[in-house]
Structure 1
Amino acid sequence: MLKRKAMQKLEFWKSHKGKQAMLVDGARQVGKSTLIGEFGRTHYRHMARIDFIDSPQARAAVDATNTADDLFLAISAYSNDELVPGETLVFLDEIQACSDVVTKVKFLVERYPEYDFVLSGSLLGVEITSIESVPVGYLDSFTMYPLDFEEYCWAAGVPSNVIEEVRNAYQERRAVNEAVHRRMTDLFHDYLLTGGMPDPVNVFLEQHNIQALRNRQRAIINRYREDISKYADSVTQARMIRRIFDLLPSELNQQNKRFRVTSLGKGARMDRSEDGFLWLVDAGVALPVYNVDEPRYPLMMSMKSRLFKLFLNDVGLLTCMCGMDVARDLLNDRTDINYGALYENVVAQELAAHGFSSYYFKNNAIGELDFVVEHPRGRVTPIEVKSGKSYKRHSAMSKALSIANYGMDRGIVLAETNVQVGDSIDYLPVYMMSQLQYDE
């Protein structure tokens, strides 16, 4: 069982909930069912699980219920364990196949407060339109992502004192111990290959076999394509969404990494294609990073929703879609290749996992900032991501920091370097993205 930070969220919910069920959403294969199963086995004497995809009979029985008692009886009938008051977690999985249960959970938690209810599913952002009424006040929720880099380090057996050294160096803005720095850099390069999907990570750490890793990653990619065909509104929409999905690697390889609608074909227009982009975002498959007119708090006020970069939800899937040559080059530590797209994808998914809403800024007079993020107290931080040796060339960041109206005190450059502190810019090793926290 991989150690996941999301376990703490479930444990906090169990200790502090009132009459609330918990909903865990996220893309396919990020480890939701495994995590909840482990949570149930660890914290309860009984766990009644129903998978609404594996059990169409249970789905039909739940759909047919009209009262809380009938619903609870239907769950009891198809449960794989005894339901004992005060000792049981009721785990309703793959709820996108039975969306009515989200509406009905309010009546369950009111009528049966002696039981705990956790719901989970994928593609909920796509399927949520079929849910008549989300029970506000009766349903807590959080989104689960692939393993972030720190979780990958846990899986790779990195000792806690090594991770603590990285954390202390980040907080103190000092160089990381050189042996630790080399180890973490090597792990980061491995992470570019594996990404954070639990099944591929397990296979790689157990076998160290690139072919086996790629087979597991291709299986996930193929499942995403199958989901597009199954859940898209029409054949035409499915074809467009698959086209966008397949183009993600080549679009990220462009110099500005912004997705060009013209890549979809002659005559393609944003007003016709926007639903396809949003579908991938709502399904958790893609991560959008929107453009802002000004890198000034609050960033949402200057966001331009039709200018964006579209990253994949997992860098391992991205390198898989790029082909085996990329994997071989990473394994051979080739330094003459531009891995900018891979590095930026890692940072985008790390920021999302840590609770940030990410933006980018581009201005003809200033240049482009790869990422701009804000913290709860209104502080805005520009972030540049450099995969090469010329990481101290950042004219856009220097210009942006010099404009008082933007209110940005310091910037961060993530690169293949140890910690260096400048007058207004911190140069951090790219693996130190794991330390960026929304509430700091």
Structure 2
Amino acid sequence: MAKISRKMEPRLARALSAYRVVVIGGPRQVGKTTLARELTGGRGTFRQLDVDTTLATALVDPVGFARHGATPRAIDEVQLGGDALVRAIKVQVDADDDPGQFLLTGSADFLTVPTLSESLAGRAVFFELWPFSQGELRGEPDGFLDTVFREPDSFREGPSSALQPEDYLEAVCQGGFPEALRLHPDDRGLWYDALVQTVTQRDIVGLTGARRAGELPRLLRLLAARTANELVASQIGADSQLSRDTLADYIGFLRMIYFTRELPAWSSSHTNRAKQRPKIYLTDTGLASHLLDADPVGLLDDDGARRGQLVETFVVNELRKQLGWSRARAELFHFRDRDGGEIDIVVERPDGRVVGIEVKSGLTVTGRSFTHLTRLRDRLGDAFVHGYVLSFSPDPLPFGDRLTALPISYLWQAG
């Protein structure tokens, strides 16, 4: 597979020139090490803590390890060095306020690892690197989030999409992990199994001491079956037979290693009856499809909920990736009120402006598809920027004031 440029690289390079510490988190095998090497470009010092001898040095003498070498000091899988190393980094940057001193990567969320008490607050900026986006894979702009707030009506006059339903479902099932993309679809299953085994039985156990780590792959499969649904702990607890406290901890562990993410419930003074449960999503639909034994042909014929869940997860993941380089400074939510009004994705900027998105895993979009978006538009008034229904339909179509149907491919083709 040819080298694929990462959309986040310019933003990370700028951060490295402005801040003392830059932290890149993300799942294993998404290319953090490769990106860190690209960013340092042969400058400074590069060390990998998943090399036993290097890790031993960091554990024995964390202060000396943090001081050693020219800047930028890139430390890969920093969480393995434990709290002592992170505190040593803090001491080092407190003594010297020059930017670009440390570039840290980690396959566990730096701020939620239970063995790390030092957050580097005020000294570090944090980024998340995810599996390849569709724009990265296809050489497209990946600018939907910026365009939607800047020129929301511009999509109405856009071209038809050349993608067919089977093309979207192929993209859903292949996901974005670089190594999985290199493999034939028949060979990806063993790779995903090895990834899950390594992360749950080695990484999580090493960082948390989880006593029933053997339950984590099964819990991950249960969450895959519920991707794009509200996180109802009682239901998952009944199926997993884990106690409430253990279940909460283990869901947190899967979030910590970037296998899952949640969309919080959105509310405002106009929608104060909103429910408060988050929706949970696996962060790669290739992994989710593997856990659910789903393939493009089967999903094309699927008349149940599975296709809809995976396609919505695919859209949410693409938007989350774009947050890494978007200028919009937006956050993602979902909305559902007690009257049954539900909107899959609410994108909100700090100034309170809102975009609503519904996701359909078919070709047909009608006026009824916009029912809840219309209600939200009427409640919010000028704060409502636009509402979109994304589907497999190839043509952009207006459906009234600030309401438009779009092909899903506009997510990465806009820019």
Residue 311 of structure 2 aligns with which residue? Answer: 343
**Runs (5+) with no aligned partner, structure 2:** 324-329
Q: After superposition, where does 1:152-167 map in structure 2 within 5 Å?
A: 152-154=137-139
- Residue 188 of structure 1 aligns with an amino acid whose one-letter code is Y
Q: After superposition, where does 1:144-155 map in structure 2 within 5 Å?
A: 144-154=129-139
Cα RMSD after superposing both structures: 3.6
Contact 1:240 1:273 in 2 (8 A): no
- Residue 261 of structure 1 aligns with an amino acid whose one-letter code is S
Residue 174 of structure 1 aligns with which residue? Answer: 156
**Worse-superposed segment, 213-222 or 417-426:** 213-222
Q: 2: distance between equivalents of 1:243 and 1:189? A: 25
Change beyond 3 A, Cα 1:406–1:363 = farther
Residue 8 of structure 1 aligns with which residue? Answer: 10
Helix, strand or coil for the counterpart of 2:310? Answer: helix
Contact 1:261 1:268 in 2 (8 A): no
Q: Given the alignment, which residue of 371, 377, 387 partners 2:361?
A: 387
**Runs (5+) with no aligned partner, structure 1:** 77-82
Contact 1:93 1:120 in 2 (8 A): yes
Residue 399 of structure 1 aligns with which residue? Answer: 375
Contact 1:244 1:264 in 2 (8 A): no
Question: Displacement, 1:135?
Answer: 3.2
Helix, strand or coil for the counterpart of 1:182? Answer: coil
Q: Given the alignment, which residue of 73, 91, 106 partners 2:74?
A: 91
Q: After superposition, where does 1:17-28 map in structure 2 within 5 Å?
A: 17=19, 20-28=20-28
- 1:181-223 per-residue CA deviation (whole Å, 9 max, x = no partner) reads 114876533321211112112x15xxxx211333333332333
2:238 paired with 1:265: yes
Question: Displacement, 1:141?
Answer: 2.3
Q: After superposition, where does 1:353-368 map in structure 2 within 5 Å?
A: 353-355=321-323, 356-368=330-342
Identity of aligned residues (%): 21
2:396 paired with 1:415: no
Helix, strand or coil for the counterpart of 2:278? Answer: strand
Helix, strand or coil for the counterpart of 1:91? Answer: strand
Question: Displacement, 1:386?
Answer: 0.5
Change beyond 3 A, Cα 1:312–1:296 = farther
- Residue 9 of structure 1 aligns with an amino acid whose one-letter code is R
Q: After superposition, where does 1:54-203 map in structure 2 within 5 Å?
A: 54-55=51-52, 57-65=53-61, 70-71=64-65, 75-76=68-69, 83=70, 89-99=72-82, 100-109=84-93, 110=95, 116-125=101-110, 128-154=113-139, 172-178=154-160, 181-183=161-163, 188-201=168-181, 203=182
Question: Displacement, 1:50?
Answer: 1.5
Q: 2: distance between equivalents of 1:72 and 1:228? A: 25
- Provide the aligned length of Structure 1 versus Structure 2: 395
**Worse-superposed segment, 340-349 or 6-15:** 6-15
Q: 1: distance between equivalents of 2:113 and 2:81? A: 11
Give TM-score, length-normalised by structure 2: 0.81
Give TM-score, length-normalised by structure 1: 0.77
Contact 1:287 1:348 in 2 (8 A): no
2:338 paired with 1:373: no
2:245 paired with 1:245: no
- Residue 289 of structure 2 aligns with an amino acid whose one-letter code is T
Q: 2: distance between equivalents of 1:163 and 1:139? A: 26
Residue 52 of structure 1 aligns with which residue? Answer: 49
- 1:369-425 per-residue CA deviation (whole Å, 9 max, x = no partner) reads 112221122112221111123432333333333335895353111111221122131
2:194 paired with 1:219: yes
Question: Displacement, 1:427?
Answer: 0.8
